[in-house]
Amino acid sequence: MSSRRFVSLDPDGMTGGWLYVVVEAQTGVLYQHQYGGTACRQGQVEGFLVPIAGADALDALRQLFEKDLSGAGTWNYSWPDEERIRLRQIIGGISYWACDGHSEELHALRLDESRIREADEAWIPVITPDGPGVLVWFNSD
């Protein structure tokens, strides 16, 4: 019997308005997620799930990917400077609460530019205070 567990995020596409970070860690839990707009890519990342509050950032991400970039996915995209700066600013405006078990501290997420070619609608590599992760939200397709 496998000790790995798989969790599908929004498997039926019926929930909306959520924003999570999966912080990459060896947990035995793999989160599966459809991303990339109408490209309908499937991704998996092992780690732990952190809910994120960020309605304004979610609106900005949806505007960027669904409208400005036409919702067809951007995997392996060569990000022009203007769009990369915009994405960096949106991600930097998202708050992440880090907790060491005793106190909590607010931090801004950072775009993981070393993995920018993986960035796509509903799948953005980020850096958190707890390590690398992937910012995910409900896919628009």
Domain boundaries of the chain, sorted by first residue: 5-137
Structure confidence at residue 2 (pLDDT): 65
Helix (H, G, I), strand (E, B) or coil at 60: helix
Give the mean model confidence (pLDDT) for residues 68-97.
Answer: 92
Percent of the chain exceeding pLDDT 70 equals: 97
Give the integer Cα–Cα distance in Å for 131 and 19: 18
Residue 104: CB atoms within 10 Å: 9
pLDDT of residue 99: 85
Residue 3's pLDDT band, with cuts at 50, 70 and 90, is: confident
The larger pLDDT score, comparing residue 26 to residue 140, is at 26
Q: What is the DSSP letter of 13?
A: S
Q: Is a pLDDT exceeding 90 seen at residue 70?
A: no
What's the whole-model pTM score?
Answer: 0.93
Cα–Cα distance between 92 and 45 in angstroms, integer? 22
- pLDDT higher than 60, residue 1: no
Task: For 29-62, write each residue's pLDDT tens digit.
Answer: 999 999 998 888 999 999 999 999 888 999 999 9
